[in-house]
Structure 1
Amino acid sequence: MQITQSLHTAILVTDLERSEHFYGTVLGLAKVERPMKFPGAWYQVGEYQVHLIVAPTVPNEPKNEKWGRNPHIAFLVSDLDAAKQQLLNYNFPVQPSASGRPAIFTQDPDGNVIELNQQ
Structure 2
Amino acid sequence: MGVTRYLHTAILVSDVEKAESFYTHILELPKTERSLKFPGVWYQLGDYQIHLIEDQNWKATEVNQKWGRNPHLALAVSDLEKMKTRLKTKGYPFQESSSGRAALFTKDPDGNIIELSQQ
TMscore range, shorter length: over 0.9
Amino acid at match of 1:78: S
Aligned residues, how many?
A: 119
Aligned counterparts, 1:9-24, within 5 A: 9-24=9-24
Aligned counterparts, 1:1-119, within 5 A: 2-119=2-119
Contiguous gaps of at least 5 residues in structure 2: none
Q: Secondary structure at the match of 1:4?
A: coil
TM, length-normalised to structure 2:
0.94
Partners in 2 of 1:9 and 1:76 — Cα distance?
A: 16
Q: Secondary structure at the match of 1:89?
A: helix
Partners in 1 of 2:4 and 2:102 — Cα distance?
A: 27
Partners in 2 of 1:108 and 1:83 — Cα distance?
A: 14
Q: Deviations over 1:63-113 (max 9, x none)?
A: 100000000000001111111111111110010011111100000000000
Partners in 2 of 1:41 and 1:80 — Cα distance?
A: 25
Contiguous gaps of at least 5 residues in structure 1: none
Q: Show structure 1 runs of 4+ deviating over 4 A.
A: none
Q: Secondary structure at the match of 2:78?
A: coil
Q: Secondary structure at the match of 1:10?
A: strand
Amino acid at match of 2:25: T
Q: Secondary structure at the match of 1:111?
A: coil
The structural deviation recorded for 1:35 is: 2.3
Alignment identity in percent? 55
Partners in 1 of 2:98 and 2:61 — Cα distance?
A: 19
Q: Contact 2:78–2:118 at 8 Å: present in 1 too?
A: yes
